[in-house]
Structures are given as C-alpha cells and as structure tokens.
A and B are shown apart, each in its own frame.
Chain A
Amino acid sequence: MLRKIFVAAVFVIGAAQPLLADNAVDPQADFKAFREYFTKRFPKVQLNDFVNGPYSMDEGLRKQWQQIEEFPPYEFAVEHGKEAFAKPFKNGKTLGDCFPNKGVGIRQNYPYFDTKSGEVITLELALNQCLEANGEKPLSYTSQDMAALTAYMAFTSRGKPFDIKIPNDPRALAAYRSGEEYFYTRRGQLNFSCASCHVQNPGGHIRTEVLAPALGILNAMPIYRSAWENMGTITRRFQTCNSQVRGVPLPGQDVLYRNVEYYLSYMGNGLPISGPGARP
C-alpha cells in the first residue's frame, strides 16, 4: 500500500518536472510582474479603472460610455437572467440550486480548479453542467441566453474583487501554465498572440476600436456591444479575437479557452467585478 502511494507520488512529481525544469511555474510572481507592467505603463489610470477596458485608455470613449450607461443596454439581459435563474426545471429544481448562495454574488470565484475532475470550471461551463445534470438542454456558449445568465451573476457580484485560487496541485499549476502559454502564443495568419494586442498595444486602435488592457480584461464580462447590437459571452469574445487574426476559433469551452480564462482571471485578482459591461 505504502509502496503504491510512493510510486504514485514519484509519477506525479515526474510529470510536473518538465515544467519546473525550464521555468518554474510561479503564479504569484507572474501576478506581481503583470500588474506592475500595466500600472507603470499607465501611471494615470487608477488601478480599479483597468476593469473598464477601452474606457480606461481613452477619454473620448469614456464620455460616450457615460452616455451609454444612462440607459444600460445590458439591463434587459440582467432581468432575463434573473428570471431564468428562478424558473423551475422540469424536475422542480432551479439553476440557483446548483450554486452557493443561489448564484448571487459569487461570480468573482470563477473559474475555479476542480480537484475532483482535475479541470478548470468556468462560469459558462458550470451553468451548462447544471442544466445537463437536471435533464435540461445545455445552452450555446455564444447565445444571448447564456450571456443573460452570466450577466445576472456578474451584476449581483459587482464590486467584489476577483478571487481566483490556484490550489497547490500540479494539475492546477499545469492548467494555469497552459493558459499562460495560450495567451502568449502567436497564432492565425496574422501571427498575433493575445498579448500582442492586449499587452503590447492597449490603448492602440484597431479600425475604430480601442484595445483593452489585459489587466482586468475579464472583470466586465459579459458585455453588450453596440457593434453587435447584443450581448457577448466570454466564449464569443475569445472566438472573435481568434478570427480577427485569421485563426479558426476553438469550440466553446475548449480546454484551452478555459485555461486562458483561468490565467487572465487570476491576473485580475483583487480588481472588482464590473460586469456586465457596455462597449461601443
């Protein structure tokens, strides 16, 4: 018995070794360097303002935004999400029953690393898992219905700082590392990484859009985009960002999308949830 445990332990350590060999995975050190990069580069932007994405970078846009927020275009989605949360399934249970505190005020804790399945569980995935576990049809990850659910959850969590944990588990560190790798990997015919736009060029323009900084980039999700005339989930945003560089988007909630969400959310730790957001 003991011997078996010993063998298992050696195996796990062995598996983690290649990661540690070239570059130890150190989320805390990454977090510090990441935040410092943005606060030094944009010394005039208040730390908590980074969560407002393009508005934190551009005064003209901010004025436009203040006007948009007078009649928040995501209000309908929040209402719709609230109703959907309370509506009983065929079995009598509700979405709220799948979440701590009925799903209210908990958005800041997602994604989390599930030590049972060994995977990153995002909010969108958790919602569909809940539907399926109760015999309901899962939603498309880019649908307005999915965006309404996450909009409601974000709205009830506004102001709460992102609190993403990376348990001391080699699989969690590997997922984090994979998310980091996805973020910095160049892809698509245009040969851009997420970082090329959101780290190297925040505040820069692409056509009429102002690039959001990667620090706090998920705090405002989901977003209503006037250009789309509707809501966008995190999945939809990632897929759009892939297509922009002429890369074929991954399927919704592909393990790489979940891992990059884990990485970016961890980088946003301590910054307040501001979603749902409104974008030009």
Chain B
Amino acid sequence: MRTRALIRLAVILSVAGLTTAALAASADDFKAALAKAEAANKQAGALKNQWTTTKDALKAAKKAADGGKFDEAVAHANQAEALAKASIAQAEAEKTAWTAAVVR
C-alpha cells in the first residue's frame, strides 16, 4: 500500500516535471542552470583547462536571459555545463594520458 502510494507520487512528480519542462522556463530555472554551469566551469578553471566555447555559451545564456528568453537561456546554460564537464573530463584523463605522446 505504502509502496504503491510512493509510486503514484513519483509518477505525479515526474509528470509535473515534464510539464514544467514543456512550459516556458522561468528566471529561477535559468538561475539554477547558470549556477550549475558556472560551478562546473570554475572547476575547469582550477584545472587550468577552460574552453572558450563554454565561455561563449555562458555569455549567450546571460544575453538570452537579459532579453527575457528563459527557454533559450536555460538551453545555453545547459550546453555550457556539458562543455565544462567535458573539459574537466579531458583534464582528468590527460593527467596520466599525456605521457604516451612524449618523444622517446
């Protein structure tokens, strides 16, 4: 009984989640997406491996948000986060991988 209630709740929540995604994104959605992207890019900065494309996506996100286009802003922020995460993964992998390229 209890489990079923939980499942029902989960279904309701996930449908609600889908609906918010389908509806226009809000300024708060943008703020949350931006914070995640900026945190990831900061981490890339600590590894001295930021990408210019992350920076560009962050700029585009802020510009869209300034113009009140939050759907677009969230999309750019999500893209920035994905790029920043890829740059972190690259830096982590290269910590050991670089030695394979050394001229010997």
Contact = CB atoms under 8 A, between A and B. Distances in A.
Interface of A: 22-23, 30, 33-34, 37, 180-181, 184-189, 191, 193, 195-196, 199, 243, 246-248, 250, 254, 256
A187 B103 contact: no
Given A30-B103, A248-B52, 16 more contacts: A22-B99, A23-B99, A33-B103, A186-B90, A186-B94, A187-B49, A187-B90, A187-B94, A188-B51, A188-B52, A189-B51, A189-B53, A189-B86, A193-B98, A199-B101, A256-B48
A248 B55 contact: yes
Given A33-B103, A33-B104, A184 B98 contact: yes
B94 A246 contact: no
A246 B87 CA distance: 11
Nearest to B103: A37
A198 B104 CA distance: 16
B8 to A, nearest CB: 44
Interface of B: 45, 48-53, 55, 83, 86-87, 90-91, 94, 97-99, 101-104
A121 to B, nearest CB: 20
Nearest to B45: A248
A180 B101 CA distance: 11
A37 B86 CA distance: 32
Contact of B98 (A30, A34, A186, A246): A186
Among B50, B86, B91, B97: residue with most chain A CB under 10 A: B50
Contacts of A180: 102
30 contacts: A22-B99, A30-B102, A33-B103, A33-B104, A34-B103, A185-B94, A185-B98, A186-B98, A187-B90, A187-B94, A188-B52, A189-B51, A189-B53, A189-B83, A189-B86, A193-B101, A195-B103, A196-B101, A199-B101, A199-B103, A243-B52, A246-B51, A246-B52, A246-B53, A247-B49, A247-B50, A248-B45, A248-B50, A248-B52, A248-B55
A180 B53 CA distance: 26
